[in-house]
Amino acid sequence: MNYENVLFEIRDGVGVMTFNRPKVLNALNPATLDEVADVLAHAAREDAIRVLVFTGAGDKAFVAGADINEFLGFNPLSALRFAERGQRLFFDIEQLPKPVIACVNGFALGGGLEISMSCDFIYASDKARFGQPEINLGLLPGFGGTQRLSRLVGRAKAKEMCMTGEMIDAQQAKELGLVAKVFPADQLIDETMKVARSLASKSMAALRSIKKVVDCGADVDLRNGCALEAEAFGVCFGMEDMREGVSAFLEKRKPQFKGTLTR
């Protein structure tokens, strides 16, 4: 698959998409959003892609925000449409029924932080930096940053980051619960791929259920969240992978999960 703004390849069941505009620190423009959407659609329908990883080209940036050059041509309506377009795409990332890992190798600012927060979890280089600097342009985040950030780090810290525009480093992000793990820069992609390949070997139906139940359960009370979990637990018993997993455990061998999202 050939793109102008991203690179995409499949390695051992893992789809790796690289934002590839290093001259502008991989900034997001409408064409890039279109290509990400195409990658997502391909990943959703292709059984050979079991996990998706996002990373950035070069050693400076994951995604350093939206392409500011585009902003001078916006009016209030076109800006609204641009924000809605990004938000729809990021919801599609959240709702992809496969694990999505953000492999943050450098600056994740503005739209870069927003797209990483729409992934299931973030692994970061020790050189990574995170922030919502839109305030410095007289703006606020437009791709869901105020909402996802407050849910991940709390309202007070989210307000501070959005109001000051200050960046935090990878270790601070980990302490806040924004980042799952931090690795030395030269080990980041290898360590991320180890986890991605491990996930690719697991039951796709169970992974999908975990993602759905955790995300949906976060928006309801505990009792209803547990009801969602119980229902998903029961559904797994109709899947081929559950029988393979239990049989492998009892037979003391490694399971070979071959089921799809629906089997």
Question: In angstroms, rounded to a whole number, what is the distance separating the alpha carbons of residues 73 and 142?
Answer: 16
Scanning the chain, the segments in alpha helix (DSSP H) are 30-45, 76-95, 111-117, 145-153, 155-164, 170-175, 188-200, 204-217, 222-236, 240-250
Residue 2 has pLDDT above 90, yes or no: no
**Interval 159-192: pLDDT, tens:** 999 999 999 999 999 999 999 999 999 999 999 9
Distance CA 131, CA 111 (A): 9
Structure tokens of 121?
Answer: 């979890």
Catalytic residue among 46, 70, 114, 251: 114
Identify the active-site residue in 4, 134, 240, 244. 134
**Three-class SS state of 191:** helix
| 196-205: average pLDDT | 96
- Is it the case that residue 259 has pLDDT exceeding 80? no
Tell me the whole-structure pTM to 2 decimals.
0.95
Class in CATH terms, 204-250:
mainly alpha
Query: CA-CA distance, 14 to 10, in Å (whole number)?
Result: 5
Work out the percent of the chain whose per-residue pLDDT is above 70: 99
Q: 17-26, 113-122, 252-261 — which is least confidently predicted?
A: 252-261
Give the model's pLDDT for residue 93.
Answer: 98
CA-based nearest residue to 122, from 103, 144, 109, 148:
103
Q: Residue 263: its pLDDT value, please?
A: 63
Q: How confident is the model at residue 72 (pLDDT cuts 50, 70, 90)?
A: confident
CB 63 within 8 A of CB 93: no
Is the distance from CB of 217 to CB of 225 less than 8 angstroms?
yes
Contact yes or no for 243/249 (Cβ under 8 A) = no
pLDDT digits (tens, 9 = 90+) for 222-246: 999 999 999 999 999 999 999 999 9
Domain ranges of the chain: 6-200, 204-250
Does 260 score more than 80 pLDDT? no
Q: In the predicted model, is pLDDT for residue 198 greater than 70?
A: yes
The 3 state secondary structure assigned to 46-112 is CCCCCEEEEEECCCCEEECCECHHHHHHCCHHHHHHHHHHHHHHHHHHHHCCCCEEEEECCEEECHH
Query: Do strands 51-56 and 6-11 pair parallel, antiparallel, or not at all (unpaired)?
Result: unpaired
134 is catalytic: yes
Question: What integer pLDDT is reported at residue 261 of this predicted model?
Answer: 67
Whether 200 contacts 13, CB under 8 Å: yes
- Show the tokens assigned to 64: 């350093």
105 vs 158: CA distance, rounded Å:
22
Q: What is the CATH number of domain 6-200?
A: 3.90.226.10
